[in-house]
A and B are shown apart, each in its own frame.
Chain A
Amino acid sequence: SQQGEEDPQALSIQEGENATMNCSYKTSINNLQWYRQNSGRGLVHLILIRSNEREKHSGRLRVTLDTSKKSSSLLITASRAADTASYFCATGSGAGSYQLTFGKGTKLSVIP
């Protein structure tokens, strides 16, 4: 069952610009994770934010979570060509749940 929905579906920016991707979900969550997928490869875990957190940083990544709006955003600052990839959010619903539910992803293209 699909829970997270990313927006936009595709995003094209110039190198050096910031990229913002959004994720909305429907039911209450315990945590939300962001993953990156380079073309033809597996997904790589980027960052996790728990439901009691509002913001987290990791290098050039900033993630926010608004549980009242059931939404999250991923900001990549000073983008590079190497950031070109698809980005997915995934939600976890808490104890006893082994499943992360993934959105359909945002395809980011960073033009050199």
Chain B
Amino acid sequence: DVKVTQSSRYLVKRTGEKVFLECVQDMDHENMFWYRQDPGLGLRLIYFSYDVKMKEKGDIPEGYSVSREKKERFSLILESASTNQTSMYLCASSLEVTGLGSPLHFGNGTRLTVT
């Protein structure tokens, strides 16, 4: 069974802090994703990566960056946290291209509060 592990379930940070959200998957998946989920807005893709050291912007990349130095690990970075980045962050991985039908495997999420 695929396991996607996010390092923190809850995180509270102050405005202006640099924040790292870590995600690790154990199934040798090529593709990894970061989403944020907000009430009334659903899931929105921030960034994804289809290979080590490769990254692509999703729908809402502003204010975020990512790092993928190893295949199993995908980090989301908030360079200078702001209150409008308070949200649930979900990491996911997939074996193949999701557009062709490969399902996503999600972690349990990190609920980030920026005060």
Bitwise interface map of B from 39 to 74 toward A, beta carbon under 8 Å scored 1, else 0: 011110100101000001011000000000000000
Whether B25 sits at the interface, judged by CB under 8 Å, is: no
Q: Is the CB of A98 within 8 A of B109?
A: no
Q: Is the CB of A93 within 8 A of B99?
A: yes
Q: Is the CB of A30 within 8 A of B40?
A: no
Known A-B contacts A45-B104, A98-B31, A98-B50; the reply to A104 vs B40 at CB < 8 A is: yes
Q: Is the CB of A88 within 8 A of B106?
A: no
Segment with Cβ contacts to B, from A11-19, A35-43, A55-63, A67-75: A35-43
Whether B11 sits at the interface, judged by CB under 8 Å, is: no
Whether B76 sits at the interface, judged by CB under 8 Å, is: no
Chain B interface, number of residues (Cβ within 8 angstroms): 28
| CB contact between B99 and one of A1, A41, A43, A96 (< 8 Å): that residue | A96
Chain B residues whose CB sits within 8 angstroms of the CB of A42 once the complex forms: 4, 90, 92, 106-109
| CB contact between B104 and one of A94, A100, A103 (< 8 Å): that residue | A100
Chain B residues whose CB sits within 8 angstroms of the CB of A2 once the complex forms: 42
Q: Is the CB of A103 within 8 A of B42?
A: yes
Q: Is the CB of B99 within 8 A of A100?
A: yes
Interface residues of B (CB under 8 A from A): 4, 31, 35, 40-43, 45, 48, 50, 56, 58-59, 90, 92, 97-101, 103-109, 111
